[in-house]
Structure 1
Amino acid sequence: MAGHRDPLDELVVPDGTEAKEVALETDGDVLIGSRSTIEFGVRGRNVLAGESVSVDGEIEAEGDCRLDMWCDVAENVLVGQDAYIGERVHIEGKLKVAGDLDIGDDVDIEEGFEANGWIVIRNPMPTIVLMFVYLKHLLLIGEEDTAQRLISELVDEDADEDDPDTEPLVIPGNATVGDDAWRVSTPATIGDDCRLHGNVRAETIAVGSDCNIFGSLRARDDVTVGDGTRIHGDLTTRNGDVTITDDARILGDVSCADLELGPGAEIDGTIRADGEITMATGERDLE
């Protein structure tokens, strides 16, 4: 049987995501895998964090927020709808919930909490853990359509009817995301019109169009840079090929196996290619 990749086992940065000074902002949902460290605050529609996630800023969720056990949040947690807080979660600031609050044992909220709806003290998070175990089982037996429906229920149940297809921001387990670096051991996909700070380290990297990445890209395998994107740093791959498409620009060195350059692509630094260098030509007006 062919292997199936867990759709949560990849860094996915949706279109229009911005890493600002204090927060990582996206219009859709945010899924954070267990034991990850986020060196920003997080702002999104629904925010779901796995076990032992550390967030160094404020969490602001327009919809629901679910924090699994042992999570640590350095500032406030502000929730527009319902909150589900697992046991032994630590929040250094305040917890404000516009809807209902399910809260586990031994939760430490240093500046107190308030909820406008029902407050239930129990351990709500094992249900979420069970859902993810079930998801992995579905993928193992090849039920990918059923697994995708489950993911949609988890992250899109409160989606705006006018924008139902907004892709979630997915940060895989054991990742580090910060102003200095984005480090994952999985593939990384960055959408269009994103503005990120930090060096990106991943298995493979695909960057969309019209992005600004203020840092370098380093991957074990292939790297693709979309039309009009600017990479303010070096681009390096250990074993893979690099494709730099139309009018993209690398403000640094490029090191790879094969290199393909689209029309108008620019590299400001040194090129080190062990294989072939291909330069595509496009129709341009002659003056």
Structure 2
Amino acid sequence: MGEGVAVSGDIAAFSDARIDMWSKIGSGVKVGRNAYLGEFVTIDGKLIVEGDLDVGKEVKIKGGFEAKGWIIVRNPVPVIMFLLLYIREMMRLGKGEEVEKALEELFDDSEEGEEFDGKEPAEKVLIIPADTRISPEAMEIGGKAVIGNNCYLIGNLRVQSIETGKALILKGSINSEGNITIGENSTVYGSLISKGQVHVGKNSRVFGGIRADSVVMHEKARVDGTIKAPSGVSFLREASGEKPPLAEVNALGKVIMVEAEEQLRNEPDKGLVKAVNIEEADSPIKTGLKVKDGFVPGMEKKSARTRSLARTRHFAGPRSLRKRQGAGDHQS
């Protein structure tokens, strides 16, 4: 767990637990192996550790603790003083390059090569970012949330953006400022709300509505609710023969055929889809007055005879007047 994480419920770890400084646990903590607590960590319940307990300065455990292994209380001040004395002495001896190399190794944050029980950390470790708030009602994460495969979560999620793996079961809704990506074979018992784009993978199901700027769904995905997307809804389908993999109908009545799967893999930062062919769809609404073989309000169809009689009546009046005027002049 990162710095400043707040958890209102219990924590149970079958292996190790590492809780960074300024975090607060609202109930008990049970650890199957070793526990590492940073400075100023507060635990309102009881701490039970099956292995070693390593705690920093000003750690408060209100419910008491039990540890079957070693108990180590760390004080970082002597370590800092030692480093200062070491750097000053090495600089006095003119070994600045060695000091720089030692500092790089000391403060290197990379975790390459680190393994837990012979497996990669992504398969074995739950990582909670700094300043996260976790409660039975909701989980609030200030940055991007990444959920692995075969996960089971209960509660709502409030994140900046989220990407999930395959076979996720979420009993709650997701509210995101950015994009939401739901992996294949996943089930969400709630709504998806995003100011960006929502992508629902193959064979996934959402028991709720979707409200986002745009939505991209696989043709085998299902949403049991209302979809609201001002920028349009796109449907992905598996390429078979000459059929295009995506058909999109936007608000302007245009049918857009796009190549989607390749661009999803190669250009994730440029949006999920890109139009390669645009065809105008016939619109049932005629906006112009010159419509071929169509009906225009106020203009009825007339036969040739009717039009000829109309022209005769139009010119008959002025022609008769001229004849009467000519006859009158002749008689006078």
Task: Indicate the TM-score class for this superposition, using the shorter chain for normalisation.
Answer: 0.5 to 0.7
User: Is 1:265 aligned to residue 221 of structure 2?
Assistant: yes
Structure 1 pair 235/254, CA: closer, same or farther in 2 (3 Å)? same
Counterpart of 2:37 in structure 1 is: 67
Counterpart of 1:84 in structure 2 is: 54
CA contact (8 A) 1:69 1:125 kept: no
Structure 1 pair 247/82, CA: closer, same or farther in 2 (3 Å)? same
3-state SS of the aligned residue for 2:110? helix
The alpha carbon displacement at 1:177 in A equals 0.9
Structure 1 pair 39/225, CA: closer, same or farther in 2 (3 Å)? same
Give the aligned residue type for 2:197.
D
* One of 85, 110, 131 as aligned partner of 1:148: 110
3-state SS of the aligned residue for 1:148? coil
Measure the CA separation in 1 of the matches of 2:220 and 2:65.
Answer: 50
TM-score (norm 2): 0.58
Measure the CA separation in 2 of the matches of 1:125 and 1:248.
Answer: 53
Counterpart of 2:147 in structure 1 is: 190
Structure 1 pair 276/127, CA: closer, same or farther in 2 (3 Å)? farther
Counterpart of 1:274 in structure 2 is: 230
The alpha carbon displacement at 1:249 in A equals 1.1
The alpha carbon displacement at 1:126 in A equals 8.9
Measure the CA separation in 2 of the matches of 1:95 and 1:124.
Answer: 22
* One of 70, 75, 95 as aligned partner of 1:123: 75
User: Is 1:220 aligned to residue 177 of structure 2?
Assistant: yes
The alpha carbon displacement at 1:234 in A equals 1.0
Counterpart of 1:43 in structure 2 is: 12
Q: Which has the larger radius of gyration?
A: 2
Measure the CA separation in 2 of the matches of 1:169 and 1:53.
Answer: 16
Measure the CA separation in 2 of the matches of 1:97 and 1:182.
Answer: 30
| Residues 190-249 of structure 1: per-residue CA shift (max 9 Å, x gap) | 1111111111111111122212111111111111011121111110111x1111011111
The alpha carbon displacement at 1:125 in A equals 9.3
Counterpart of 2:205 in structure 1 is: 249
Greater relative contact order (CA < 8 Å, ≥ 6 in sequence): 1
CA contact (8 A) 1:263 1:279 kept: yes
* One of 34, 42, 56 as aligned partner of 2:3: 34
3-state SS of the aligned residue for 1:247? coil
In structure 1, the gaps of 5 or more residues are: 1-31, 104-121, 129-141
Counterpart of 2:166 in structure 1 is: 209
CA contact (8 A) 1:253 1:267 kept: yes
Q: CA RMSD in A?
A: 2.7
Counterpart of 2:65 in structure 1 is: 95
The alpha carbon displacement at 1:92 in A equals 2.5
Percentage of identical aligned residues: 22
3-state SS of the aligned residue for 1:259? strand
Report the number of matched residues. 213
Measure the CA separation in 2 of the matches of 1:217 and 1:269.
Answer: 15
3-state SS of the aligned residue for 1:149? coil
Deviates more, 1:194-203 or 1:59-68: 59-68
3-state SS of the aligned residue for 1:48? strand
TM-score (norm 1): 0.67
The alpha carbon displacement at 1:167 in A equals 4.1
| Residues 105-142 of structure 1: per-residue CA shift (max 9 Å, x gap) | xxxxxxxxxxxxxxxxx5269979xxxxxxxxxxxxx9
The alpha carbon displacement at 1:35 in A equals 1.6
* One of 26, 30, 38 as aligned partner of 1:56: 26
| Residues 58-79 of structure 1: per-residue CA shift (max 9 Å, x gap) | 2222332111222111222222
- In terms of fraction of residues, the more helix-rich structure is 2
User: Is 1:229 aligned to residue 186 of structure 2?
Assistant: yes
Measure the CA separation in 2 of the matches of 1:215 and 1:127.
Answer: 46
In structure 2, the gaps of 5 or more residues are: 81-103, 241-332
CA contact (8 A) 1:86 1:125 kept: no
Measure the CA separation in 1 of the matches of 2:117 and 2:124.
Answer: 12
Measure the CA separation in 1 of the matches of 2:12 and 2:79.
Answer: 24
